[in-house]
Amino acid sequence: MRLGSVVTDLDGTLLGPSRSIAAVDRRTLIELGARGILRVVATGRSLFSARAVLGADVPIDYLIHSSGAGIVSWPDERPVRVLHMAPPSALRLARELSERDLDFMLHRPIPDNHRFWFRRSTRQNADFARRLSQYAAHAEPLEEPPQIARELCQALVIAPPSSADLHAELTRTLSEWSVLRATSPLDGASTWVEIFPRGVCKSEAAAWLCKARGLGSTASLGVGNDYNDVDLLDWAEFAIVVGNAPEELRARYRSVAAHDQGGFTEAVRHALAQSDSE
């Protein structure tokens, strides 16, 4: 089956430690475009945050942002798809998280989802404090008890490294929503749990986009490095993780070089070779 699309995670996958795209990977993206292969970045970052690391000259076709809640064409940032959490659901979620005494943030609808309300727990949480400081200009304390009466993009729960079981617990108890796990991009150890309307995830957005572009009869390559890429990897015909992914993921999927050693390009070369030989 011919390779029709490449969907790659951003931080820790396409971006190196300096938050830039290596020259070899940029050339690979240009080559993919010349071959007529759809180039998509799928990130947990909001559009506001993605702009900080993706310039208008980055050779991609679409950006899936906010873990699939939004899709824009690139570089014009024309909205292609936006999903929100309805006010009644948002209020129920806010109260559920508050009753659990968790550290969380409730993000406004796209395109303003870099703005949020927050609630602190009674525990010390350095990673939560770090993110709150980073976005202080866009943060407001959440009133108690929560009185959310508008749409939301998502909730973000930040838990210490010792809370690895939190994702499984919230997935089980918050079945009304889509519950995604990620490793903190700030300290590289804390657990981030992102909660979206049911069905929101990178793979669902990628599948919708490929269908909209008429690519149903072609194969897709998914490239990632963390737990929030698992659904994307399971969806793609070719699933590859870069060498800096957790050992658990490297054991589960084909792995290539790390994100700062041309891993993305190696993944593309493998998928092209496989698709060309079939």
- pTM greater than the 0.85 cutoff: yes
CATH of 3-82+201-277, one of 2.60.40.1180, 3.40.50.1000, 3.40.50.300, 3.40.50.620: 3.40.50.1000
Query: How confident is residue 55, by pLDDT bands cut at 50, 70 and 90?
Result: very high
85, burial (CB in 10 Å: exposed 0-12, middle 13-18, buried 19+)? buried
3-82+201-277 and 87-197: same fold? no
Strand partners, 59: none
- Predicted confidence at residue 278, as pLDDT, reads 61
pLDDT at 162 over 80: no
Domain residue ranges of the chain, discontinuous segments joined by +:
3-82+201-277, 87-197
For 115, other C-beta atoms within 10 Å of its C-beta total 18
- Sequence-distant (6+) residues with CB within 8 A of 203 are 68, 222, 231, 232, 234, 235, 236
Res 149: pLDDT: 85
Average pLDDT, the chain: 95
In tens, the pLDDT along 179-216 reads: 999 999 999 999 999 999 999 999 999 999 999 999 98
Residue 146 has a pLDDT of 85
Neighbours of 172 (CB within 10 A): 9
Residues with Cβ within 8 Å of 183's Cβ and at least 6 positions away in sequence, in order, are: 189, 190, 191, 192, 226, 227, 246
What are the pLDDT digits (tens) for 89-110?
Answer: 999 999 999 999 999 999 999 9
CATH class of 87-197: alpha beta
